[in-house]
Amino acid sequence: MKFLRGLAAVVMLVGLVGACKDHTSVTTVATTAKAGATTAPTTGPSFAALCAAAEQGDAEVQYKLGVCYETGAGVTPDPVAAVKWYGKAAEQGFAGAQCALGNSYYGGVGLEKDLGQAVAWFRKSAEQGYVKAQYNLGVCYENGFGVEKDLAQAVAWYRKAAEQGDAMAQTNLGSCYTEGTGVEKNLVEGAKWFRMAAEQGRDDAQYNLGICYYLGMGVEQDFAQAVTWFRKSAEQGYAEAQFNLGMCYGKGSGVENNLTEAEKWIRKAAAQGFEPAKDMLRKMGVKP
């Protein structure tokens, strides 16, 4: 989903973020290993025991060994070896490995990129209730990655992950309700899901919840609460929230007017390249 700018006229506040800032990417088991690395396993007893158990067909251990090869835990990163072990565990029905194998196909790491195969493995994992796979499948349906675009299906899978407490899925589900994307528009539901994610520390959800409070979208309008949530997001470095917090200080909305604080937060947003913040600094007569 896109970044919405339709609310920008409101005291120069930028509008709701359409979804998680990384919503077009699937969540991975860990940091993706660098392609082409050579394999040099550690010969210590722990890794040797892991290898032995994996060779005996233990699916959970095979998955863990795949993680080791992907992340370089106890072994030189090797995405091809990671895929090998994820595949063995996935074929046995191990949900974590199925999701990880889907990630590999999605990113083309350790094997040729194939979004259709990514969706197939995400689905197998998601149908077992694996939360990250449910979120990933929602991303694929929302964007038409490896499957025909279907916003209602995206919402269905985001909901399954959101109900298990996944903050990214909660943020995306909140955006879907707020925009009426794949589900009937419902601002109360949107704010509810933003809050769940915001309370887990998602910076974009905190920002969106701040917008909801500022505009009275799905919640009673409350400038002080808007400032509270903008601040939480801004302190994590979220540029839009930094800008909005600065604007609140500048207008005295929900917080005592303080031009020094206003400039400080707007400058933080400008330093990240946020153009509305640069423009505002120029209007304030200071250099961006």
pLDDT in tens, the chain (288 residues): 332 222 222 344 666 665 444 455 566 543 222 222 233 344 455 888 889 999 999 999 999 999 999 999 989 999 999 999 999 999 999 999 999 999 999 999 999 999 999 999 999 999 999 999 999 999 999 999 999 999 999 999 999 999 999 999 999 999 999 999 999 999 999 999 999 999 999 999 999 999 999 999 999 999 999 999 999 999 999 999 999 999 999 999 999 999 999 999 999 999 999 999 999 999 998 887
* pLDDT for the residue 39: 35
* pLDDT for the residue 149: 98
Report the candidate in 22, 77, 21, 2 with the shortest Cα–Cα distance to residue 239.
21
* pLDDT for the residue 98: 98
Q: What is the DSSP letter of 34?
A: P
* pLDDT for the residue 114: 98
CA distances from 40 to 34, 61, 101, 184, 197 (A): 14, 19, 22, 53, 40
The SS3 assignment for 111 reads: coil
Give the Cα-Cα-Cα angle 160, 162, 165 (nearest 5 degrees): 120
* pLDDT for the residue 74: 86
Neighbours of 58 (CB within 10 A): 18
Report the candidate in 227, 239, 180, 174 with the shortest Cα–Cα distance to residue 200.
174
The SS3 assignment for 238 reads: coil
Whole-number Å distance between alpha carbons of 115 and 247: 42
Q: Which run of H or of E encompasses 16?
A: none
* pLDDT for the residue 47: 85
Enumerate domains of the chain plus CATH numbers.
26-149 (1.25.40.10)
Say what angle helices 59-71 and 79-91 make with each other, to 10 degrees.
Answer: 160
| DSSP letter for each residue of 31-72 | SPPPTTPPP----SHHHHHHHHHHHTT-HHHHHHHHHHHHHT
| DSSP letter for each residue of 124-169 | HHHTTT-HHHHHHHHHHHHHTSSS---HHHHHHHHHHHHHTT-HHH
Report the candidate in 176, 180, 184, 237 with the shortest Cα–Cα distance to residue 23.
176
Whole-number Å distance between alpha carbons of 107 and 26: 9
Q: What share of the chain is helix, strand, coil (3-state, %, to 5)?
A: 60, 0, 40
